[in-house]
Amino acid sequence: MSEAEVFQTEDMIISMGPQHPSTHGVLRFIVKTDGEVMREAIPDVGYLHRSIEKIGEKVTWHGFVPYTDRADYLAAMFANQGFCMAAERLGGVEVTRRGEFCRVIACELNRIASHLISVGTFGQDIGAITPFLHALRERETINDLMEMICGARLTYNYIRIGGVGYDLTAETCDRITQFLDHFEAIVDEYNRLISYNKIFVERLVHVAPITKEDAFQYNIVGPNLRACGIKWDIRRDIPYSVYPELDFDVPVGTGEKGTLGDCYDRYMVRILEMQESCKILRQCLRMMPEGPAIAKVARKFKPPAGEVYVRIESSRGDMGFYVLSDGSEYPYRVRIRTGSFTAMSLVDKISRGLMVADLIALIASLDVDAPEIDR
C-alpha cells in the first residue's frame, strides 16, 4: 500500500445549528470541512417560519400592524413604518408633519438599539464578553425611552396608518437629548475598548471580503452593501418621510485596516451609522413642529384596489413591502423583502476556504436576523 493511500482523507460534514449561540437565531449551516478549512457552508433556513405574510391577508389593514413587529424583532419600528407607508399610499392618506418627525425619532433610536446588539454580539461571538455588556447597557436605556414613547420595549406597534399611536411629550424629548449627550461619548469609549483593539482588528481584517460585483449580483443591502464602498442609502437616494430635510452622511467601508468589504468594514460601518443617527435625532428634536401626531383615518380602512411597493432603510438595509389591495378591509397580498435573506445567499460563496472559526465572524458581520430570513 502506497503512502498516499495510507494518508488518504475525506471531507467531514458537520451541522452548525440550528440551536447554536453564534448563529443569531434559529439558523443552521451545513458545513463541509477539510480539517479546519471550509469547502462549503450551505445555509439551511426555515426553522422560524411563521407565515406572517399569509396572516397579512387574513387580518384587517390596521390589524396587521402588530404582526409586522415580528418581521424583525430587533428593528420592529421599520417594519411598522414600511407597511403603514404602503397602506397610506394605497389609501391616499397624508401623514401629519409632527407624525413624520415622531416616526423618524422612533426609527433612529431603534436603529441605534439594533446596531448595539450587532456590534455587542460581534465581540461576544469571537470571545470578548465585556463589550457586549457595555452595548447591552446602552440598549437598555433606549428600551426605557421606547417604553416612554409607546409603552413597549421590543415589539412596539407604535407607527399607525396616518402617523403614530402616541405623541412625543416634552419630557420624553428631554430624556432623548440627555441620552444623546451620554451616548456620543460612550461610542468613543467603546471604540477604545474593542473597535481598535489589536486582537479584535486582526481577527476580522481580510476575512470574507465582499466585492462590489458580488454585492450587486447577490443584491446585498444596507450596512453590508455600504461596507463594500457603495454609497447607497434609501433615506438619501429614494427619500421618504422628512429625511430630505435632514443633514446626515452615509458611512461606507474604506478598507483602511484590511481589505475593502471585509468583516471589519462591516463592523465599522455600523459604529459610524450610530453616530449619524445621533445627528439625525438632534435635528429632529430641534425641528419638531406643533400639531397632531396622527391623521384621521377610518376605523374600517378600505383603500382602493391597486398595488404598491414601498422601500425603507431598515437597520439591515433595504426593506420592501409589496401590498395588493382589492378594495376590501383586508389586504389581498402582502410580501416583505428583507436584507437578511439576501445576505444569507452569499454565505456559501464567500465562506469557501475560510477556517471554521471564521464562519462565526462572517455571520456576525452580516448581522443576519432569523425572523427576517424566514418570516
pLDDT of 239-260, one tens digit each? 999 999 999 999 998 888 888 8
| Residue 103 domain boundaries | 3-374
Distance CA 106, CA 308 (A): 24
Here the CATH number for the domain that contains residue 244 is 1.10.645.10
* Distance between CA atoms of residues 57 and 334, nearest Å: 7
Domain count, the chain: 1
State the alpha helices, DSSP H only, in 45-162.
Answer: 52-55, 65-68, 76-91, 97-125, 129-150
Provide the H-helix boundaries in 126-249: 129-150, 170-190, 198-204, 212-217, 222-226, 234-237
pLDDT mean over 158-171 = 92
For the record, the C-alpha cell of 29 comes out as: 449551516
pTM greater than 0.85 (yes/no):
yes
Query: What is the grid cell recorded at 326?
Result: 382589492
Q: Which of 247, 209, 238 is nearest to 317 (CA)?
A: 238
- Percent of the chain scoring above 90 in pLDDT: 53
pLDDT reading at 29 higher than 90 = no
Q: Is 35 exposed, middle or buried (0-12, 13-18, 19+ CB in 10 A)?
A: exposed
**What is the distance between the terminal CA atoms of the chain, rounded to a whole angstrom?**
55
| Helices then strands, each counted (H, E), the chain | 15, 8
- Return d(Cα 274, Cα 109) in angstroms, integer: 9
pLDDT at 175: 95
Q: What is the pLDDT of residues 277-331, one digit of tens each?
A: 999 999 999 999 999 999 998 889 999 999 999 999 999 989 999 999 999 999 9
Confidence of residue 232 (pLDDT cuts 50, 70, 90): very high
118: three-class secondary structure by DSSP: helix
- Residues near 280 by beta carbon (within 8 Å), at least 6 away in sequence: 104, 108, 246, 248
Percent with pLDDT over 70 in the chain = 96
CB 105 within 8 A of CB 281: yes
* Average pLDDT estimate for 331-356: 88
Distance CA 12, CA 188 (A): 43
pLDDT digits (tens, 9 = 90+) for 57-66: 899 999 999 9
